[in-house]
């Protein structure tokens, strides 16, 4: 077994690991409640594990098992989680996502791995008898020892929680501590790809969200009544989804998920096929020139793309003069969620939910 050891001060409750061939921003996941409850957030070539709480003086051991070694959990481990990890480069990097000075490189051969995260509170006698321990307890920081074991395998690796803490509560108060409360089956790809709020700059019935392989060279002209009545239009290089009403602003978030889970508040939900043709990923825009790249985040392959949209329910907006003005003018501000679900199956366009409350889409 090859072992590499590092330490860092973080004050956060996470550690991220990513394939060195990917940009460092691959480590910056957004985190859903489900990810916190299951203890990890995952996407291809990148995973974030959540520690017990806000961790100070963390020690990280990265272990690479040889082909003739059998993996076993350490007896002192309190929490253990297993995920798949495909490595295309010659190593991984990890960070607490706060400081580039705490980013470390570990050489690991390319391959398909079972990655096991083990975690425990620092039980080193020298630390427990030190002034640092008393300082950490007083500040509600935890000091933790983390082991990341890479076990090369040719078999499919299913995510699993191998061990969880047996205590009813930690031995002392730890800021931000929550016990695991997973929903089964555990889901890969529950992480937020990028928070992408943008102003469409469009008022009137032309408001839409366009998802393509590349930035559009010109505006899409899709005034066909049939397309607007069904809520979407499919093009050779992507798909366009239409707003509920005369949208002045459309706020967009893009996610990657393991399965379809409709948001209970969605007024409209549509699923269509989408292919990422190359390493450029995808491009999200309003179809009129502005937009965002999803490069280096979506892997090449086939996806089921789920579009969900609803009127903005942000309390600040609903209590603002802007909301009153928009209502009087018949304008909307809307929230859209795009979920990319990797699949090897043929995806047939479907309208899963269509204007379940028509009065909401025509204020």
Cα 229 to Cα 195: distance, rounded to the nearest angstrom? 29
């008898």: which residue's tokens?
129
90 found inside a domain: yes
Residues 23, 142, single domain; the answer is yes
> Which of 163, 184, 219 corresponds to the end of one domain?
163
Q: What is the pLDDT of residues 265-313, one digit of tens each?
A: 899 999 999 998 876 667 887 766 566 676 555 777 899 999 999 998 8
186 found inside a domain: no
Q: Does residue 334 have a pLDDT over 70?
A: yes
Of the chain, the percentage scoring pLDDT greater than 70 comes to: 79
Contact by Cβ (8 Å): 121, 151: no
Band of residue 336 on the pLDDT scale cut at 50, 70, 90 = confident
Rounded to the nearest 5 degrees, what angle is found at the Cα of 126, between the Cα atoms of 123 and 130?
100
Least confident of 39-43, 82-86, 94-98, 113-117: 94-98
Q: Does residue 84 have a pLDDT over 90?
A: yes
Q: Does residue 360 have a pLDDT over 60?
A: no
- The predicted pLDDT at position 217 comes to 64
Asked if omega into 185 is within 30° of 0 (cis), the reply is yes
181 found inside a domain: no
Residue 111 tokens read as 């391959």
Exposure class string for 194-215: b at 16+ Cβ within 10 A, else e:
bebebebebbeebbbbbbbbee
- The predicted pLDDT at position 260 comes to 81
Cα 213 to Cα 285: distance, rounded to the nearest angstrom? 11
> Which of 143, 163, 183 corresponds to the end of one domain?
163
**Number of domains into which the chain is organized:** 2
CATH number, domain containing residue 22: 2.60.34.30
177 found inside a domain: no
Domain range for 87 is 2-163
Residues 154, 196, single domain; the answer is no
Looking at per-residue pLDDT, the higher value among 89 and 289 belongs to: 89
Residues 289, 348, single domain; the answer is yes
DSSP 348: P
Rg from Cα positions in the chain = 23
Least confident of 69-78, 110-119, 194-203: 194-203
Residues 337, 263, single domain; the answer is yes
- The SS3 call for residue 320 is coil
Looking at per-residue pLDDT, the higher value among 108 and 245 belongs to: 108
- The predicted pLDDT at position 107 comes to 92
227 found inside a domain: yes
Residues 65, 25, single domain; the answer is yes
312: nearest Cα among 242, 254, 262, 363: 363
Residues 156, 242, single domain; the answer is no
Residues 146, 235, single domain; the answer is no
CB-based burial label for 112 (10 Å; 0-12, 13-18, 19+): middle
- The predicted pLDDT at position 30 comes to 61
Looking at per-residue pLDDT, the higher value among 31 and 192 belongs to: 31
Residues 287, 204, single domain; the answer is yes
Residues 137, 208, single domain; the answer is no
331 found inside a domain: yes
Least confident of 15-29, 150-164, 306-320: 15-29
> Which of 114, 146, 163 corresponds to the end of one domain?
163
Q: What is the pTM of this model?
A: 0.63
> What number of CA atoms fall less than 13 Å from residue 111's CA on the CB side?
16
Q: Does residue 359 have a pLDDT over 60?
A: no
- The predicted pLDDT at position 146 comes to 93
Q: Does residue 16 have a pLDDT over 70?
A: yes
Residues 222, 118, single domain; the answer is no
- The predicted pLDDT at position 96 comes to 64
Residues 70, 215, single domain; the answer is no
Average pLDDT of the segment spanning 79-90: 93
Contact by Cβ (8 Å): 42, 190: yes
Least confident of 24-28, 86-90, 189-193: 189-193
Q: What is the pLDDT of residues 175-227, one digit of tens each?
A: 889 899 998 878 776 544 443 444 444 444 567 888 888 776 655 555 566 78
Helical H segments across the chain, by residue range: 33-38, 125-128, 131-139, 225-230, 315-318, 321-329, 358-361
Q: Does residue 74 have a pLDDT over 90?
A: yes
Least confident of 38-42, 199-203, 329-333: 199-203
Looking at per-residue pLDDT, the higher value among 160 and 101 belongs to: 160
Q: Does residue 253 have a pLDDT over 50?
A: yes
- The predicted pLDDT at position 363 comes to 37
184 found inside a domain: no
Residues 103, 239, single domain; the answer is no
Q: Which DSSP helix (H) or strand (E) runs through 8?
A: strand 2-8
Query: Could you tell me the maximum CA-CA distance found in the chain, to the nearest angstrom?
Result: 74
User: Taking the alpha carbons of 276, 302, 273, 353 in that order, is the dihedral positive or negative?
Assistant: negative
State the chain's mean pLDDT as an integer: 81
Band of residue 348 on the pLDDT scale cut at 50, 70, 90 = very high
Cα 199 to Cα 250: distance, rounded to the nearest angstrom? 6
185 found inside a domain: no
């Amino acid at each position: 077994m090859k072992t590499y050891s590092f330490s860092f001060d973080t004050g956060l409750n996470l550690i991220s690991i990513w394939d060195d061939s990917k940009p460092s921003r691959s480590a910056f996941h957004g985190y859903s409640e489900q990810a916190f409850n299951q203890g990890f957030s995952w996407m291809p070539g990148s995973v974030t594990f959540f520690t017990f709480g806000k961790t100070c003086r963390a020690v990280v051991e990265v272990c690479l098992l040889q082909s003739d070694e059998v993996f076993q959990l350490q007896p002192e481990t309190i929490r253990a989680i297993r995920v798949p990890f495909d490595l295309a480069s010659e190593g991984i990097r990890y960070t607490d996502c706060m400081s580039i000075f705490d980013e470390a490189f570990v050489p690991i051969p390319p391959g398909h791995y079972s990655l096991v995260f083990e975690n425990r509170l620092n039980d080193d006698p020298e630390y427990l008898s030190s002034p640092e321990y008393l300082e950490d307890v007083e500040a509600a920081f935890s000091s933790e020892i983390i082991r990341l074991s890479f076990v090369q395998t040719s078999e499919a690796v299913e995510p699993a929680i191998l061990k969880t803490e047996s205590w009813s509560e930690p031995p002392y108060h730890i800021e931000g501590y929550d016990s695991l409360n997973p929903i089964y089956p555990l889901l890969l790809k529950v992480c937020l790809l990028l928070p992408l709020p943008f102003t469409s700059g469009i008022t009137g019935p032309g408001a839409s969200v366009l998802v393509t392989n590349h930035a559009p060279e010109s505006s899409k002209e899709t005034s066909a009544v049939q397309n607007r009545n069904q809520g979407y239009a499919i093009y050779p290089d992507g798909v366009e989804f239409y707003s509920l009403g005369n949208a002045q602003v459309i706020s967009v978030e893009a996610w990657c998920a393991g399965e379809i889970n409709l948001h209970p508040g969605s007024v409209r939900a549509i699923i269509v096929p989408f292919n990422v043709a190359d390493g450029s990923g995808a491009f999200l825009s309003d179809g009129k020139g502005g937009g965002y790249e999803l490069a280096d985040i979506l892997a090449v392959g086939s996806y089921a793309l789920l579009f969900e949209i609803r009127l903005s329910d942000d309390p600040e907006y609903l209590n603002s003069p802007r909301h009153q003005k928009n209502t009087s003018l018949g304008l909307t501000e809307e929230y859209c969620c795009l979920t990319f679900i990797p699949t090897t199956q043929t995806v047939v366009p479907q309208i899963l939910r269509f204007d379940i409350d028509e009065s909401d889409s025509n204020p």
